[in-house]
Amino acid sequence: DERVKEIRRELDMHVSGADVAKPCISFAHFGFDEALLNVIIKHGYSEPTGIQKQAVPVAMSGRDIIGIAKTGSGKTAAFIWPMLIHIMDQEELQKGEGPIGLILAPTRELASQIYTEAKKFAKSYGLRVAAVYGGASKMDQFKELRPGGIEILVGTPGRLIDMVKMKATNFRRVSFLVLDEADRMFDLGFALLFSATFPKKVEILAREVTAEPVRISIGSVGQ
Ligand code: ADP
Ligand code: MG
């Protein structure tokens, strides 16, 4: 419809995929509950960022997403909020110990930033978040994961594998997966299989791990 096109044009947003949810221009339209809306407001956010306006309703509709927007545009919250809602929608939260939401990040710095961002919103639901990455004690991370389990886990791939091998956690309950900074992640090794230009390789890989994804990009990045 015309209004949707106009909103996307104003945000320099490009969207592809079938049956894509409409963008929401305010937090009130996301369908979030009071608890989450209150924390968002408490953090002084007055309006969703461009990527949030489109990615949140698409994620809330249960679709896979390939999201591309420049650094600092609020991509973390764009996946954390729908992840929290998804977890709260699970009926049998008590069963199992491994995470329901799993976020892979290419570096420890990024994993720790995502952890901080996730924690500030997860608190309102009493959900537990943990982060695992190299350069820190495996034993401490093991202990953090073991007792009682967690609902959200952020980590670098290598350390996540270590934790699974140590039986500190498992991925049996994971039903919401995020590959943050996927371009850098694939750069760590797996992209060697592909031959075209770098962004193309990332696009191909991203399409392999998603099902009928909605692709959302803001500005000319990754066009
Ligand atoms: P990206 O992952 O796209 O680089 P981040 O998720 O790290 O960006 O967000 C950058 C900053 O913007 C963070 O400090 C975050 O708390 C803040 N932020 C996220 N969403 C909003 C919003 N809707 N309004 C204001 N600030 C926001
Ligand atoms: Mg980010």
Query: pLDDT for 38-58, tens place per residue?
Result: 999 999 999 999 999 999 999
62-81 mean pLDDT: 93
pLDDT score at 194: 34
Q: Pick the atom of ligand 1 nearest to 46's CA.
A: 24
* Residue 83: exposure state from Cβ atoms within 10 A (0-12, 13-18, ≥19): buried
182-199 mean pLDDT: 54
Question: pLDDT tens across 107-149, in order?
Answer: 999 999 999 999 999 998 999 999 999 999 999 999 999 877 8
Tell me if 44 CB under 6 Å of ligand 1. Answer: no
CA-only gyration radius of the chain, Å: 18
Q: What percent of the chain has pLDDT over 90?
A: 65
pLDDT score at 212: 86
Which tops the pLDDT comparison, 91 or 50?
50
pLDDT score at 223: 47
Q: Which residues pair with 13 in a beta bridge?
A: 218
Q: What is each CA distance from 198 to 76, 107, 148, in whole angstroms?
A: 23, 19, 41
Tokens matching residue 215 = 């692709």
**Ligand of minimum distance to the alpha carbon of 183:** 2
Tell me if 112 CB under 6 Å of ligand 1. Answer: no
Please, which pLDDT band fits residue 187 given cuts at 50, 70 and 90? Answer: low
CB-based contacts of 36, cutoff 8 Å, min separation 6: 81, 84, 85, 121, 124, 125
Under 8 Å between Cβ of 180 and 154:
no
Question: pLDDT tens across 4-27, in order?
Answer: 999 999 999 999 998 999 999 999
Whether residue 96 has pLDDT greater than 80: no
Question: pLDDT tens across 141-182, in order?
Answer: 999 998 778 999 999 988 998 999 999 999 988 999 999 988
Whether residue 191 has pLDDT greater than 60: no
178-194 mean pLDDT: 66
29-33 mean pLDDT: 95
Tell me if 77 CB under 6 Å of ligand 1. Answer: yes
Q: Give ipTM to 2 decimals.
A: 0.99
Under 8 Å between Cβ of 42 and 18:
no
User: 88: number of CA atoms within 13 Å, CB side?
Assistant: 18
Q: How far apart are CA 180 and CA 109, in angstroms?
A: 12
Instruction: For the chain, give the mean pLDDT.
Output: 88
Which of 45, 65, 83, 119 maximizes ligand 1 atoms within 8 Å of its Cβ, making it the mutation to test the pocket?
45
